[in-house]
């Protein structure tokens, strides 16, 4: 099963992808997490991506597509995967579909987690992230058991550099301009579904599970 999580930055894609990954035993593939890991480790890829990310812009398609296709060619993706934050542009979606077509495969579900822009700002300002394992928390809605520490791996939680209100505004504009057209793209393929992402985490998860099952 191959699933694409769609939605604005901060809509809860990563939160749901993580839960889906553990329920269905599929890898959670987040291009944002891969970029952040590279930034933390100081790799060339990280250096290249950081400027775009800090500005709230997208990393160029060519680089991102190469990274993603390499990741999903790993054995752990043989039975499927949950994509979170990819594709973010039509050319990225087309590049993925071309690779899948070679294997006579396709995306099975594109699930849009819908949250209005006003709620997004609030979600992002309370977000705390674990850069080691990718887990995400919210100070108010999904607090970690121990303040500032990841429940999953015990690492320190941080505020993402791109969660500053000014950057969030740019990221939302980028989303509406470049990513939202994917809604029609996947509607045309007949794999598009949407869920109300303003509900609590478990209700959103139940809605997604209903779609998949």
Catalytic residues: 13, 88, 127, 160, 171
Q: Establish if 171 lies at the interface with ligand AMP (CB under 6 A).
A: yes
Q: Establish if 86 lies at the interface with ligand AMP (CB under 6 A).
A: yes
Nearer to ligand AMP, 10 or 145 (CB): 10
3 state SS of 140: coil
Q: In the set 3, 20, 58, 204, which binds ligand AMP (CB under 6 A)?
A: 58
Residues near 149 by beta carbon (within 8 Å), at least 6 away in sequence: 155, 156, 157
Encode 147-172: b = buried (16+ Cβ within 10 Å), e = exposed: eebbeeeeeebeebebbeeebbebbb
Q: Which stretch binds ligand ADP (CB under 6 A): 3-11, 52-60, 72-80, 172-180?
A: 3-11
Q: In the set 2, 36, 127, 171, which binds ligand ADP (CB under 6 A)?
A: 127
Nearer to ligand AMP, 9 or 12 (CB): 9
The DSSP symbol for 98 reads: H
Q: Is 100 exposed, middle or buried (0-12, 13-18, 19+ CB in 10 A)?
A: middle
Length reported for the chain: 213
Q: How far apart are CA 182 and CA 91, in angstroms?
A: 10
Q: How many residues bind ligand ADP (CB under 6 A)?
A: 20
Q: Which stretch binds ligand ADP (CB under 6 A): 8-16, 37-45, 48-56, 172-180?
A: 8-16
Residues that bind ligand AMP (CB under 6 A): 9, 31-32, 35, 52-53, 57-59, 64, 85-88, 92, 162, 171
């Amino acid at each position: 099963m191959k699933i694409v999580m769609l939605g604005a930055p901060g809509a809860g894609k990563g939160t749901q992808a993580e839960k889906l990954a553990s329920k269905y035993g599929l890898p959670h593939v987040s291009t944002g997490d891969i970029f952040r890991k590279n930034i933390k480790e100081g790799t060339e890829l990280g250096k290249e991506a950081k400027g775009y990310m800090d500005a709230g812009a997208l990393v160029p398609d060519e680089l991102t597509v190469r990274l993603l296709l390499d990741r999903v060619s790993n054995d752990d993706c043989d039975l499927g995967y949950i994509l979170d934050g990819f594709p973010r542009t039509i050319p990225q979606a087309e590049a993925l579909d071309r690779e899948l077509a070679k294997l006579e495969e396709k995306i099975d579900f594109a699930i849009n987690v819908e949250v209005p822009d006003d709620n997004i700002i609030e979600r992002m300002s309370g977000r705390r992230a674990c850069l080691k394992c990718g887990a995400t928390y919210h100070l108010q809605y999904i607090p970690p058991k121990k303040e500032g520490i990841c429940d999953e791996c015990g690492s320190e939680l941080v505020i993402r550099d791109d969660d500053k209100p000014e950057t969030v505004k740019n990221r939302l504009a980028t989303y509406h301009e470049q990513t939202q057209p994917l809604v029609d793209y996947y509607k045309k393929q007949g794999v598009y579904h949407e869920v109300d992402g303003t509900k609590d985490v478990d209700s959103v998860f139940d809605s997604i599970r209903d779609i998949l099952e």
